[in-house]
Amino acid sequence: MELLEQCQRWYENGECRKIIDTLEAIPEDGRSPELDMALARAYINLADPEGAEGKRMLRRAISLMKRHKEELGSDYSWNFRMGYAHYYLDQEGPALNYFNKALERHPGDAPQINTRSVIEDFIQDCRERLSLPRFTESFLERTRKAWEAFASKEAGLRNLMDQDRNHERGDELVAMCNEILQLAFDDVSFELGFNGEKHELILTPEGDRVKLLQLIYFRCFAPASVLEHWSILVGRQPAKNMGLRFGNWEISGDDVQIWIEQQEEDGLGLAAYCEKLRHAPGADVNQIWWMLVTLTDQILGEIPHMRYIDSFDVLDAPREEPPILLTELSGKLEEIGLDLSIAPEEVLELYTSYQMKPDEGPNPDWRMDVIAGSTGCVPILNEYLSGEEDYMDSLHADGIVPGFLCYPIDGFKGENRSQEIFEFRDRLESALTQKAGPYALTLTGGATGIYNGYVDFVAWDLPTVLTVARIFFEESGLPWAVFHTFRRSAMPVPLVDRVTQDAPIPAPGAPF
């Protein structure tokens, strides 16, 4: 009997563990796409998505199937199983895309094939969960669980780090820590170290302002028992004599020439040239850019880099004007008055004001009536306006919901109308911060439109936020109010509806 046939029999008999044990014993390059699909199916069917082990199995199934996207990406079973695994990881955004493709490629109601109605039910549930997310665990719950696990295992991590004087067990250390952090994060970058007094866990946003917001929130929950032995840092710390090795290439700050360009306000642009990398065999532009940006992070510090450096260009040839070396960059920036000891939280305090040309039609899409606003989370707002959802999918996978509250402002009239609109928004924001609390949400901005007012936030515990918002709007006397995620494809969620109990909340500007 061929191995694939044996796996099918084990599957029919409910013996998925035998499939896993047998196929995992085969080297990765010795398994065919069909065997990897059988292995992925076994993981999916054995996984209990409520537990950490079940989530690990689902992630393993996804990684197995992703290897064969080119060969199997148009296959019904591949798309259905990818959708199923993502769905039970609370990743309804990607799941919806895979289920839609599975529906398009459905082979008919043959034996052992899910009926079309099963897939349609998944699709409908995904759409509802993307409009009103319902997680197995919110990021608040995931964060608490991860720190509990870290506290219980940190002594073992410290002992292993202390014993590993020759740095031979780095992979083991990273795997141990990653297993803990995956209780909170679907994907996170981090480094481990020792500063002479305490061990260090360095959470790195990789230059991503949205991830920075998440990491700062996560760090707030570090228990005292952990902080006794560990420094929990956000952002790579400066190391002026740092070098970087990638494959056969090795560079230091003395190998990199830098030109500083003044940009708007106190933002700067950097242009870099590295002769050593320019002539490195096999190096491509993207790899060179990554190495130079990473080395700058490590020499300057990731948080100062995020705060002050607005652009980073890699040059094909050195400029005529005199450069400085990358190792001299910190001193130069301090000379011109920049504070390189800036805390990660200060980066998030920088808000961007914006203006829009509002859609004055009778039924503009949500937020398209906006005249002006401000935001501390530009990437999420930009994605919403462009109809993209990558950030939303990434945060959704961690139990996080960026969204906004929307309410009509046509009831504010008179000479002080603008002031009354802003005072109402202030009262709403105060209610959210005081009654929901900082553990439930972080406010990220707001906007005023022709028809509606908007308050933006990132919800770490969405049910608590919506409960507080509903009570506020019920007491406000406004005719209606809704919650909307930062997904253009999502539907509004009514919080208050005094217009009619049967009809949906109107679109902005639409007649009641």
- Which residue from 464, 462, 486 is spatially nearest to 398, judged by alpha carbons? 462
pLDDT of residue 509 exceeding 50, the answer is no
Digit-coded pLDDT (tens) for 67-94 = 999 998 899 999 999 999 999 999 999 9
Choose among 253, 227, 226: nearest CA to 239: 253
Q: Are 403 and 442 in contact (CB under 8 A)?
A: no
pLDDT: is 272 or 167 the higher one?
272
pLDDT at 43: 94
CA-CA distance, 404 to 402, in Å (whole number)? 7
Q: Residue range 130-148: average pLDDT?
A: 95
Is residue 191 within 8 Å of residue 225, measured between CB atoms? no
More confident: 511 or 76: 76
Per residue in 339-364, pLDDT tens?
999 999 999 988 999 999 998 888 88
Q: Contact, 247 vs 241, CB < 8 A?
A: no
* pLDDT at residue 185, rounded to an integer: 95
pLDDT reported for residue 510: 37
Which percentage of the chain shows pLDDT scores above 70? 95
Pick the CATH number of 3-131 from 2.160.10.10, 1.20.58.100, 3.40.50.360, 1.25.40.10: 1.25.40.10
Give residue 247's pLDDT. Answer: 67
> Residue 146 has which token pair?
């991860």
Q: Coil, helix or strand for 195?
A: coil
pLDDT tens digit sequence for 226-271: 999 999 999 998 887 777 776 677 888 999 999 998 766 668 999 9
Length of the chain: 512
For residue 512, the model assigns a pLDDT of 26
Question: Three-class SS of residue 15?
Answer: coil
CA dihedral 398, 403, 405, 410 (to 10 degrees): -170
pLDDT band at 282 (very low <50, low <70, confident <90, very high): low
> Tell me, what's the pLDDT at 264?
66
Is pLDDT of 507 > 60?
no
Neighbours of 429 (CB within 10 A): 16
Mean local confidence (pLDDT), 148-167? 92
Decide if 255 contacts 234 (C-beta within 8 A): no
Q: How many CB atoms lie within 10 A of CB 83?
A: 26
Taking only the tens place, the pLDDT of each residue in 3-30 is: 888 888 988 888 899 999 999 999 988 8
Query: In whole angstroms, what is the distance from residue 288 CA to residue 278 CA?
Result: 8
Of 509, 486, 512, 511, nearest to 365 by C-alpha is 509
Q: Which CATH number fits domain 243-339: 3.30.300, 3.40.50, 3.90.220, 1.10.3720?
A: 3.30.300
- What pLDDT, in 10s, does the model give residues 406-421? 999 998 887 888 899 9
Contact 381, 444 (CB under 8 A): no
The pLDDT of residue 502 is 47
Q: Phi and psi at residue 148, in whole multiples of 5°? A: -60, -45
149-153, 294-298, 323-327, range with the lowest pLDDT: 294-298
> By mean pLDDT, which of 8-12, 152-156, 366-370 is the weakest?
8-12
E strand map for 275-333: 309-314, 324-325
CA angle at 332 for the pair 189 and 270, rounded to the nearest 5°: 55
Tell me how crowded residue 192 is: count the other CB atoms within 10 A of its CB.
Answer: 18
